[in-house]
Amino acid sequence: MKVWDAISDEELATLLKNGSVDAYTEIYNRFKGVLYMHAFNKMRNREDARDVVQEVFSILWNKREVIVFQTTLAGYLYASVRNKIINMIAHQDVASSYIASFQHYLGQESVKTDYLVREKQLKALIELEIAALPPKMRVVFELSRKANLSHKEVAEELQLSEKTVKKQVNNALKILRSKLGLHVFLFLLINY
């Protein structure tokens, strides 16, 4: 068996596509630090940078069989981090513009319709992100937040432990916060 250090990135990519957990672990160990620094230099937020890198590695594993590396493995990973950062900033910009718009128009009676339309768009964005959650996590989250069931009630209905339900809800909230940005996330907490 080859020593992992002697295996090239291209060989690792091939092993990854064939489902090698060891290759995935080696890729993670090789690139996590530099990708984190790259993300942190762009975002200046440790938690957001960590979330971006974790999401890139999660997608790398989940889509390993269909990923096409058009450049090098490193090029693919850097581009993925850059795209995740752009998406996160875009979500934050949308949220900020909605919040600013809400604040501006709240006192004006004549634009109530505009407010309702924007609120509907914001809720649609939130629903889209909830729908993108992993299926089991989404079910637990929706029962907890939309059906207003306690963790105990959700656990009983789905035949899970309360600890599992609590962890799934917390994980869902963490994912939604990273995808929606703080302002939209706060809107989610207030309205769901």
9-19: pLDDT as tens digits? 999 999 999 99
**Nearest to residue 61, comparing CAs of 122, 31, 18, 7?**
18
- Annotated domain spans of the chain: 1-106, 110-192
Task: Grade residue 1 by pLDDT with cuts at 50, 70 and 90.
Answer: very low
Which pTM value belongs to this model? Answer: 0.51
110-192 maps to which CATH number?
Answer: 1.10.10.10
**Looking at the chain, how many residues does it have?**
192
* Secondary-structure class of domain 1-106 per CATH: mainly alpha
Top mean pLDDT of 1-5, 108-112, 148-152, 158-162 is at 158-162
